[in-house]
Homo-oligomer: A and B are copies of this chain.
Amino acid sequence: MFDKKYSYLGAHLQGSEIRRLFATSMRPNVISLAGGLPHADSFPNDEMAGAVSGLLTREKEIYLQYGGSRGNRDGFEAARCRMQKRGIDVPAEEIIITSGSQQVIDLMTKVFVDEGDTILMEDPTFVGALGVFRNYKARLEGIPMQEDGIDLDALEGRLGAGIKVKFMYLIPNFQNPTGLTTSIEKRMRILDLARQYDFLILEDDPYGELWFTGGPDDVRPIKAWDTEGRVVYTSSFSKIISPGIRIAWAAAPSGVIDRFDMARQMMDVCSNPLMQGVANELCSSGFLDAHIERLRGVYARQAETMLAALEKHMPDGVTWTKPDGGFYVWLTLPEGTDTLDMLKNALDADVAYVIGSAFSPDSGSRNALRLSFCHESESAIAEGIQRLAAVVRKRLISSE
Contacts and interface: CB of A to CB of B under 8 A. Distances in A.
Interface of A: 1-3, 5-10, 13-16, 19, 35, 37-38, 40, 43, 45-46, 48-49, 52-53, 56-57, 60-61, 63-67, 69, 98-100, 102-103, 106, 110-114, 117, 128, 131-132, 135, 166, 200, 228-230, 238, 242-246, 253, 255-256, 259, 261-263, 265-275
Given A65-B243, A244-B66, A244-B273, A200 B13 contact: no
A235 to B, nearest CB: 15
Contacts of A128: 265-266, 269
A156 to B, nearest CB: 21
User: What is the copy number of this chain in the assembly?
Assistant: 2
Given A6-B112, A10-B110, A48 B19 contact: no
B56 A49 contact: yes
- Of A5, A53, A244, chain B has the most CB atoms within 10 Å of the CB of A244
Contacts of A98: 268
Contact of A114 (B8, B38, B135, B238): B8
B64 A229 contact: no
B243 A64 contact: yes
B267 A267 contact: yes
Most chain B C-beta atoms within 10 Å of own C-beta, residue among A111, A228, A246: A246
Nearest to A167: B5
Given A19-B265, A272-B275, 11 more contacts: A1-B228, A2-B229, A2-B256, A16-B266, A43-B61, A45-B56, A48-B56, A64-B243, A65-B243, A246-B270, A268-B268
B269 A102 contact: yes
Given A56-B49, A266-B16, A242 B65 contact: yes
A272 B244 contact: yes
Given A7-B114, A99-B268, A244-B274, A40 B65 contact: yes
A1 to B, nearest CB: 7
B112 A5 contact: yes
